[in-house]
Amino acid sequence: MAWTRKILRVNLTKGTCTAEDLNMEWAMDYLGSRGLATKYLVEEIDPKVDPLSADNKLIMATGPMTGTIASTGGRYTVVTKGPLTGAIACSNSGGYVGAEMKFAGWDMVIFEGKSPKPVYLMIENDKAELRDASHLWGTSTWHTEEQIKKENQDPQIRISSIGKAGENQVLFSCVVNDLHRAAGRSGVGAVMGSKNLKAVAIRGTKGISNVVNPAEFQKVTAEKKQILAENAVTGEGLPTYGTQVLMNVINEMGALPTRNFKDVKFESANDISAEAMATPRESDGKAQLIANQACFGCTIACGRVSKIDKDHFSVQQKPQYHGASGGLEYEAAWALGAANGVKDLEALQYAQMVCNEQGFDPISFGATVGAVMEMYENGTIDEETIGLKAPFGSAEALCELVDMTANGEGFGVEIGLGSKRLCEKYGQPELSMSVKGQEFPAYDPRGIQGMGLTYATSNRGACHLRSYTVASETLGIPVKTDPLATEGKPGLVMAFQDATAAFDSSGLCVFTSFAWGLGDIQAQIDAACEGDWSEEKLQEVGERIWNMEKLFNLEAGLTKEDDQLPTRLTTEAATEGPAKGLVAGVPEMLPEYYELRGWDKDGVPSAEKLKSLGL
């Protein structure tokens, strides 16, 4: 087996840390990470709980593959009820923290209650204790990591923490680990902040000694690494360009949402692309991109490390931003750039750094700024309200607003509520480009129809990582489908959703699914874990997880109305590109999707479906 079979329960109200045995029956049905942590959460909390109250719980969980030599085996998930959405929140991160948790001997950590004062959890193998974090409160994730390592005289500690955004309960704040990686979406950082939990610091030296068949595991993981290396996406596109490989591709498809989804192409896409990041700047002759970086165990290495132009207006007299830092990923470059019409690559990098430093999601932040800029331009919000001029394309406004949001100052407080609440407040709810209150990522559903259904039905609110049909609709993985067609998409979305839930629950990265099918992870799981793991079983585990998440949302009070796209996307046609004249076909796809799922017309799972999944 590759589970440690131990979970750590931390009661923040009482200040206690208790070891418990992992429920192995549940592990057999939910695998690990996303699935297993969600099972624990739904068993332990009332779905109607206020996400920011002491009654909510927050779980950090690894999968059975986390901490093994399998490629990308470094993932962990933060599961809780999300404050941005009121739905299940489930945010996945790489870096090194997940593996370290396993090396310390824990499959997951469950946080419950609320600490009376700021604390951080220190885990050193079997030993776990809460420590005072008063001196860290009000500081950044970067400072927190540095300080914890320093005061423990141990540079090998790995840390997940929140910045000021999580403390201030910005509704899209992250849990940041290893400086530049994040469990990014749905406001999981705000839940941590609401519990007065500043950080989780881990040092694990026990390692993983109990894979079932070590020789077979070594052999099969090596074979699967070879598949990644030989694949055009995981062996070439992602290593060479990072996720930013997509910027020009998606723009050409007429599916790059621009200026709050008013347009589907960004005329300056090339200025914020992977190619631009690698091109020497006119100002100092250096490229922004300086290195590629991998998360633990990853043989793809899609991560980017960049250095901003020291003379850029955003960082003058701010030497703390002059060093290397996590560079632009596609989603962030889109949300901070195209979604606001901003083409200044240095400004995007600055905003990305502040998001990492103070811990908030650049997708939701950038998309919310997009809505603000639209309301500024249509006269709903004026300069006085915002505190500055905020037209589309203003890099200055982007950089000011990111500071204000990070520090909880002025209009930044309103941005921190996310676009849904902000647009409602100003009487224009239809301008929030979100589902379940969570902002869209970087694919326009008019040009990539499967993504519309993906956003609408995602259990954690709009998200690309729940069923990345872009793989099929753009890249032909595993089969090519027409991005403009709605036919066949409900089945495609469902299959991707279930498979992704299995990938996420294994502890492996979903990016491997460009090259690996369920059969490829099955072989690795089967060599490492007890139990009989077949491809069919993983499919079923995925479907079970999806239905479990859906049930949680229904019990939390969400309805069919929460599975709809904003009217802009279903009534305003794309104005140019291949999708010209098309709207998002979600209304026609949704009934078929529900039916394929075995759900009724209101999206409620049938008794037979639940019974067949053992729910």
Positions touching other proteins (CB under 8 A) are 67-69, 71, 96, 99, 103, 156, 179, 204-209, 211, 214, 218, 225, 229, 290-299, 301, 303, 305-307, 323-325
3-state secondary structure 394-421: CHHHHHHHHHHHHHCCCCHHHHCCCHHH
Of 148 and 431, which CB lies nearer to other proteins in the complex structure? 148
Of 35 and 74, which CB lies nearer to other proteins in the complex structure? 74
Of 309 and 563, which CB lies nearer to other proteins in the complex structure? 309
Smallest distance from other proteins to CB 144, Å:
14
CB-CB contact of 419 with 432 (8 Å):
yes
Smallest distance from other proteins to CB 312, Å:
18
Of 324 and 607, which CB lies nearer to other proteins in the complex structure? 324
The closest of 210, 244, 204, 192 to 57, measured between CA atoms, is 192
Residues sharing a CB contact under 8 Å with residue 308, sequence separation 6 or more, in sequence order: 288, 314, 315, 321, 322, 325, 346, 349, 350, 353
Of 190 and 201, which CB lies nearer to other proteins in the complex structure? 201
Residue 242, φ and ψ in degrees, nearest 5: 75, -170
CA 9-56-296 angle, 5° bins: 55
Strands 325-326 and 119-124: unpaired
Of 299 and 438, which CB lies nearer to other proteins in the complex structure? 299
Smallest distance from other proteins to CB 542, Å:
26
Smallest distance from other proteins to CB 2, Å:
9
Q: How many CB atoms lie within 10 A of CB 215?
A: 9
Smallest distance from other proteins to CB 550, Å:
35
CA distance 567 to 448: 17
CA distance 241 to 101: 30
Smallest distance from other proteins to CB 208, Å:
4
In total, the chain counts a number of residues equal to 615
Of 357 and 374, which CB lies nearer to other proteins in the complex structure? 357
Smallest distance from other proteins to CB 51, Å:
33
CB-CB contact of 371 with 423 (8 Å):
yes
The residues with which 81 forms a beta bridge, in sequence order, are 88
Write down the residue that tokens 């500081």 correspond to.
139
The conformational region for residue 145 under phi > 0 = left, psi -120 to 50 = alpha, else beta, is: alpha
CB-CB contact of 192 with 12 (8 Å):
no
Smallest distance from other proteins to CB 432, Å:
36
Smallest distance from other proteins to CB 506, Å:
16
The closest of 571, 303, 260, 189 to 440, measured between CA atoms, is 260
Residue 230, φ and ψ in degrees, nearest 5: -90, -5
Write down the residue that tokens 């990041």 correspond to.
277
The conformational region for residue 530 under phi > 0 = left, psi -120 to 50 = alpha, else beta, is: beta
Of 181 and 195, which CB lies nearer to other proteins in the complex structure? 181
Of 209 and 561, which CB lies nearer to other proteins in the complex structure? 209
The half-sphere exposure of 203 on its side-chain side, counting CA atoms within 13 A, is 13
Smallest distance from other proteins to CB 203, Å:
9
Write down the residue that tokens 């209650």 correspond to.
113
Q: How many CB atoms lie within 10 A of CB 557?
A: 11
Of 259 and 304, which CB lies nearer to other proteins in the complex structure? 304
Smallest distance from other proteins to CB 396, Å:
27
Of 299 and 467, which CB lies nearer to other proteins in the complex structure? 299
Residues sharing a CB contact under 8 Å with residue 20, sequence separation 6 or more, in sequence order: 6, 7, 8, 9
Q: How many CB atoms lie within 10 A of CB 95?
A: 26
The closest of 585, 414, 589 to 493, measured between CA atoms, is 589
Of 64 and 490, which CB lies nearer to other proteins in the complex structure? 64
Of 53 and 218, which CB lies nearer to other proteins in the complex structure? 218
Of 215 and 479, which CB lies nearer to other proteins in the complex structure? 215
The closest of 190, 183, 87 to 548, measured between CA atoms, is 87
Smallest distance from other proteins to CB 123, Å:
14
Q: How many CB atoms lie within 10 A of CB 407?
A: 15
The tokens describing 331, both together, are 């989603």
Smallest distance from other proteins to CB 103, Å:
6
Smallest distance from other proteins to CB 157, Å:
12
Sheet of 303-306, strands arranged across: 289-293, 303-306, 325-326
Of 161 and 299, which CB lies nearer to other proteins in the complex structure? 299
Smallest distance from other proteins to CB 597, Å:
37
What single DSSP character describes residue 112?
E
The closest of 208, 180, 222, 237 to 62, measured between CA atoms, is 208
